[in-house]
Structure 1
Amino acid sequence: MLTITAVIRATKGAEQTMRDALLEVAEHVRANEPDTIGFHISQDLEDPSVFTTYERFADQAAMDRHNGSEAVARFFAIAQPILDGEVVLVAGSEISAKT
């Protein structure tokens, strides 16, 4: 299982826009990406401008399809102007999971 963890910080006041954009990606994944095994979004309890995604993919092809999707491109078009810093991405190979 391949994974991506992303830490995304929105500028103050743009939290709802970022949240909506992430939820749009999640809906696209749910409806169109059977080989994306999980797409989880969290919003920090203490700083609501910080979002984390945890994405699980069956294989490299599934990850590539997701990252190359129109939904991800649309997300970055919305997110780019409201980012507070760089998106931190960590790609990995999952070594343990409780499902």
Structure 2
Amino acid sequence: MITITAIIRARSGQETALRDALLDVAAHVKAHEPETLGFHVSQGLEDPSVFTTYERFRDEAAKDTHNASEAVARFFAQGEALIDGDVVLHTCREVSTEG
């Protein structure tokens, strides 16, 4: 299993727009990416301008399909207007699914 954790900071005043853009990606994943096994979006409790996504992919091919999707392209096309700074990505191999 391949995972990606993304940490994204919204520009001041763009928190709702960034949340909506991330939820658009999540809806696309649910409708079109059966090999993406999870796409979770979270918003910071202490700092609501900070968002994280946690994405789980069956394999590298599923990750590549997701990253090449129209939804991801659309999200990053909006990025300059919505995102403050760089998106921090951590791509990993899952080693445990136990809580």
TM-score range, shorter chain: over 0.9
Per the TM alignment, residue 98 of structure 1 is displaced from its structure 2 partner at its CA by 3.2
Unaligned runs of 5+ in 2: none
TM-score by length of 1: 0.96
Q: Is 1:23–2:55 an aligned residue pair? A: no
Identity of aligned residues (%): 64
On the 8 A contact 1:43/1:51 being kept in 2, the answer is yes
Q: Give SS of 2:53's match.
A: strand
TM-score by length of 2: 0.96
Indicate the residue corresponding to 2:93 in structure 1.
Answer: 93
Indicate the residue corresponding to 2:56 in structure 1.
Answer: 56
Unaligned runs of 5+ in 1: none
Residue type of the alignment partner of 2:12:
K
- Aligned residue runs from structure 1 range 1-99, under 5 A: 1-98=1-98
Q: Give SS of 1:86's match.
A: coil
On the 8 A contact 1:3/1:57 being kept in 2, the answer is yes
Runs of 4+ residues deviating >3 angstroms: none
On the 8 A contact 1:21/1:79 being kept in 2, the answer is no
Deviations along 1:38-74, whole A, 9 cap, x unmatched? 0000000011110000000000000000000000000
On the 8 A contact 1:2/1:59 being kept in 2, the answer is yes
Residue type of the alignment partner of 1:76:
F
Aligned pair count? Answer: 99
Per the TM alignment, residue 79 of structure 1 is displaced from its structure 2 partner at its CA by 2.2
